[in-house]
């Protein structure tokens, strides 16, 4: 493992706005589930997730533009999250946090009706048909989002991959989800 990566892992462990719960903690009742606004952000502002956030550029920019919303970037890669977490710290963005976890565990992390919006920005399209169930717009994932989103919540998708776009439209249609635009 690269020396720089080890330094990032050590540093990210000191960031109070980065949560890295072990799977056992998630399965046994995650302490922030249903309480992100109250205990993590200490306000009642809307909660917005960026899934597979990578370096967290979108979460950071949304946090800058919308100070009256709370943003959580979620990714499994700690070295990637470090970039966004460091930037949020440097800019004192109190409305931006990061969660290091797999997207599959999202229902362990957030309670029913806790999330106002979800952003999926240029996700890995998993172009092989055998990998379709790994797409973040697969019904497996959409049903999880549905369980944590408020009734008037949104899932925003930005992609430049035509196959993923079409797959998503088909999934929305097949499962009778509402498409806004």
Q: CA nearest 46: which of 149, 172, 178, 162?
A: 149
Helix (H), strand (E) counts: the chain: 7, 6
Catalytic residue among 75, 113, 124, 160: 124
Report whether 95 contacts 56 (CB < 8 A).
no
Strand partners, 122: none
Strand partners, 158: 121
Report whether 117 contacts 153 (CB < 8 A).
yes
Torsion angle (degrees, nearest 10) of CA 161, 167, 173, 174: -170
Active site residue 113: no
C-alpha–C-alpha distance, residues 43 and 105, integer Å? 24
Tell me how crowded residue 154 is: count the other CB atoms within 10 A of its CB. Answer: 15
Both tokens of 49, joined, read 């997730």
- Which residues belong to the active site? 124
């Amino acid at each position: 493992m690269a020396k720089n990566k080890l330094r990032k892992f050590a540093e990210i462990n000191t960031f109070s706005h980065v949560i890295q719960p072990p799977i056992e903690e998630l399965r046994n009742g995650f302490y922030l589930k249903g309480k992100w606004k109250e205990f993590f952000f200490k306000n009642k502002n809307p909660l917005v997730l960026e899934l597979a956030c990578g370096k967290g550029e979108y979460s950071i920019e949304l946090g800058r533009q919308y100070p009256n919303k709370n943003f959580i970037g979620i990714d499994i890669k700690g070295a990637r999250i470090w970039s966004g977490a460091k930037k949020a710290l440097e800019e004192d963005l109190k409305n931006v946090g990061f969660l290091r976890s797999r997207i599959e565990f999202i229902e362990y992390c957030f309670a029913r009706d806790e999330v106002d919006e979800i952003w999926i920005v240029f996700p890995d399209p998993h172009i092989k048909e055998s990998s379709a169930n790994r797409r973040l717009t697969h019904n497996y994932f959409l049903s999880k989002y549905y369980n944590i989103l408020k009734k008037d919540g949104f899932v925003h998708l930005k992609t430049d991959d035509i196959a993923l776009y079409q797959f998503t439209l088909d999934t929305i249609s097949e499962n009778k989800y509402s498409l806004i635009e």
